[in-house]
Structure formats: C-alpha cells, structure tokens
A and B are shown apart, each in its own frame.
Chain A
Amino acid sequence: MEIVSVTDLKKEFDGLGVLKGISFSLNKGEVLSIIGPSGSGKSTLLRCLTQLEPVDGGSIVVNSKTMVTTTEEGKVRYADKQTLKDVRLSLGLVFQSFNLFPHMSVLRNITEAQMHVLGRSKSEAQQVAKELLRKMGLEEKEKAYPCQLSGGQQQRVSIARALALNPAVLCFDEPTSALDPELTAEILKVIKDLAKEKMTMIVVTHEMAFARDISDRVIFMDDGLIVEEGSPEKVFGDPQSPRTKRFLNRYEQD
C-alpha cells in the first residue's frame, strides 16, 4: 500500500533551485534511506514533506490525502487546514538537533501533544509516554529535564515524542549528526528496532553502513535531483551513476 507519493517536487530558495523535480513513493512498512552530499536537498525534501517549508511545485499525497498539488499553469495549491493538520500528524519528524522543550520534563515532552493535539486524557497520555520510554530504555528518566540527559538520550526522547502521536510515517533528518560515534550507535539501534517492527520510515542519513543495513530502498540525491534509486544491494554494491560511485568511494576511503 502506497503511503507517501511525491511527484515532481520543486523548491527554490531566492531563485536557486534546491529541489528540481523529485518523485518517489513509499509503501507501508518500508524503510527508505536518502543519502547524498550536503546541500543536495535531502533535508529540504523532508522539510517540504513535513510542511516546514512551502513547496514551489509538484504534489504530495500522504495516506491518500492530497496535501499539495500544482496546476498545469504552475500554481501551487495546498489542501484545507484540516487536511494539512491530518497529514502533518501522520508524518512524525525527528530533528538533527532534537528540539526537545527544555522547560518540560521528559514525560511532559511526550504527553503535551497527545493531550493538546489528540485530546487524550492525562492518564492515557502518561501511560503511552511511559510505555515508549520503557521501549527506549529511559523509564527511570521520566522526571528528568532534557538538559540532564546525554545527546543520545535526548534523541531517544524525541523519537518517543514523535511516536506518541502514532504517525503513519516517521521521518529522521540526520538523527545522529549531532552525536559522537557511541551515541550514534545507540540511536541507530533504536531505528533498527523500529524497522524490525515494520515502522514505515524515511531516514536522511550520512551513516552509509547503517543505510545499507536497515533500508528496503535507498535514494541517492545530488544537486536537487534523484540520481539513483534502488535496493541497498544495488545502490551500494553496483551503483550505475558515476556521481554515486564518486560519492560512495569517498566513504569507503574513510
């Protein structure tokens, strides 16, 4: 079942094309990794999906709800408020810099949206939060504040915060780029466990071995375009485009 469908997505910043016509789709239970050099538009793509950036062209359909379309004359049309909200809630996002709320306890970071946005009762929201914290190995941290946690722990809280809203797709925007190798391994394990549970995910990452390991499909992006797409065996083992080969060679040298 197709859960996300992106067609000819375009985005410009001050007349400079960042996404120059991106099309891809994502099936339920699939893990899609997006790799590519910095500035290739990977993060912008996620930010367009999650409505943090308005698109300049193309269409996005999530859970058979049309979030945005573009007319033949090139006019971008976003859906009505309610649809946008539904789509927003069906896409969770985990940020590179966590973006936890520093003035709220770990527990409240996870319950706030459940109560305010989904209208769950406090006890229900706390139950969900505690269950997720247990899953993240942080059950003893519910009363702590984000500043008392390590980067890896903070990122796990932010994953729990996103999961608490039961998103259909969980998006990761370079979730380990702010972490040292040890903490990176900690987060990658969490994502791997989610993949085992058949959570649908889009992971923008610079961790090549990890992308190869967990993905059902890999997209290599460069300069606002999808250069190569396919199974991890194909993209990493037998890349077709010289640009992909050059990029992957860099990593193998390291």
Chain B
Amino acid sequence: MGNLLQQMLVGSVTSLKIFALTLLFSLPLGMLVAKGRMSKNPILSNLVNVYIMIMRGTPLILQLLFVYFAPYYIFGSSYDRFTAVIVGFVINYAAYFAEIYRGGVQSIPVGQYEASLVLGFTKTHTFTHVVAPQVVKRIIPAMGNEVITLVKDTALAQTIGVAELFRVAQNASARQFSTMPIFIAGVFYFLMNAVVSRSFDLLEKKLNYYH
C-alpha cells in the first residue's frame, strides 16, 4: 500500500507538471488568439476562427495523437512524448481561454472606452488599467470551470504514453486485480480540484469590492 501511494504521488507530480505547464503557456497564448479572433482583418480573424473550431470541435484525445504522430509521418521523427502532451494541451486550452477572454473583453461597456478616450488615455493604458482589470473579474467563474476541467483532462496524457496519475492507478489496478487504486486516484483528483476551486473562490471574493 505504501508503495502504491508513493507511485501515485509520482504520477500526481507528472499530472501537476502537465497542469502547470499547460496554464503557463496557454493563458498568454489565449490572449494572442483572442486578439486575432477580434482582429479587424477578416483573413486573420477567419483563420483564427477555423483554429478555434477545430480545437473545440474535435476530441482532445485525437489532438494529442495527432500532435505526437503527425511529425512521424511528415518528418520521420517526433519530439518526446511529454513535450507532445504539453503542445497538445496548450493549443487546445488556448482556444478555450481565447473565447473566454473574448467574451470578457466584449462585455465591457463601450462607455468605458469612451471615457478613457476623452480623458486622453493611450490605448495601452486603457487596456491595462481600465479594461483588463474588469475583464479579470468577469471571467473568473468561466476560467474556474476550465481550469478544473484541465486537472481532470491531464488523465488523457496516457494516450500517448505519459505515465500520469491515472495511468499509474490503472497499472496498479491491473497488477492487484482491484479497482481500489483507481478510486484512490479519484480522491487525488478531487483533492487537487478542491484546491483549485478554493483558490478561485478566494480570488472572486478578493475582487468583490465592486460590481
């Protein structure tokens, strides 16, 4: 049992790495995608829209397989599995985050931009000091949903052979002819997400000083 828990902790570390690296890259990438999607250039915005449609319209598991195996067919070799997992997760989650950002930015009343303009703010200042802080507050519930889903989605990394928490549990389960390890894994995911939801709750409270 002690051995099993140790293995599952190692698997959890891999899951957490996927989780953290995905957020690290997809959160800023999503901003670029959102900017492209809102671009006045129709070619760019349509192109970005197609990308978002593919990312949201096909299974993440398929995207992971594609990201890992496509280079084999094209170049004859691929990057390591873990890198492929990160690339797959980042491009998928960036699409979802982009749409959340876009919703947030477009929900800011036009009067906020007009007041900024009349007061002489630069475009950058308007975005960083007027729009962005209000967007953050508005998108927290939607972002919370997405980040919680990401914790559970890390289990898909095993499809291209990365031994994260769920894979470790399944292996142990097969060895021991018992479903117990899988249920223990469930508790692990639950605890991780308890931390995530609590963090989002706190953030929401912190920004509750205005509405």
Binding site for B on A (CB under 8 A): 50-52, 85, 88-89, 91-93, 95, 97, 99-103, 112-113, 116-117, 145-147, 161-162, 165
Contacts and interface: CB of A to CB of B under 8 A. Distances in A.
Contacts of B137: 103
B205 interface: no
Contact of A103 (B118, B119, B133): B133
Contacts of A95: 111, 114-115
Kindly list the 10 A-B residue pairs having the minimum CB-CB distance in the complex, ordered from nearest.
A99-B111, A99-B115, A113-B119, A117-B120, A145-B210, A93-B118, A103-B133, A102-B210, A89-B120, A147-B210
Contacts of A101: 112, 115, 130
Interface string B107-137: 0010110110111110001000110011001
Contacts of B125: 116
Contact of B129 (A91, A112, A165): A112
A165 B117 CA distance: 13
B134 A102 contact: yes
Given A103-B137, A146-B210, A147-B211, A116 B111 contact: no
Which interface residue of B120, B125, B133, B209 has the most chain A CB atoms within 10 A? Answer: B120
A95 B118 CA distance: 10
Contacts of A99: 109, 111-112, 114-115
Contacts of B118: 50-52, 88, 91-93, 162
A85 B130 contact: no
A85 B120 CA distance: 7
Contacts of B115: 95, 99-101
B114 to A, nearest CB: 6
Contacts of A102: 134, 210-211
B134 A103 contact: yes
Interface in B124-183: 125, 129-130, 133-134, 137
10 contacts: A52-B118, A88-B117, A97-B111, A99-B114, A99-B115, A113-B119, A113-B121, A116-B129, A117-B121, A147-B211
Contacts of B134: 102-103
A52 B114 contact: yes
A93 B129 CA distance: 20
A202 B109 CA distance: 25
A197 B190 CA distance: 66
Contacts of B111: 95, 97, 99
Given A102-B210, A103-B137, A117 B114 contact: no
Contact of B209 (A51, A117, A145): A145
Contacts of B130: 101
A234 B151 CA distance: 73
Nearest to B118: A93
A244 to B, nearest CB: 30
A91 B118 CA distance: 8
Contacts of A88: 117-118, 120
A44 B80 CA distance: 60
Contacts of A51: 117-118
A95 B110 CA distance: 12
Nearest to A167: B118
B204 to A, nearest CB: 14
Contacts of A91: 118
Contacts of B121: 112-113, 116-117
Contacts of A161: 119
A52 B119 contact: no
A51 B118 CA distance: 8
Contacts of A92: 118
A162 B112 CA distance: 14
Given A99-B109, A165-B120, 13 more contacts: A51-B117, A52-B114, A52-B117, A88-B120, A91-B118, A95-B115, A97-B111, A101-B112, A101-B115, A112-B129, A145-B210, A146-B210, A161-B119
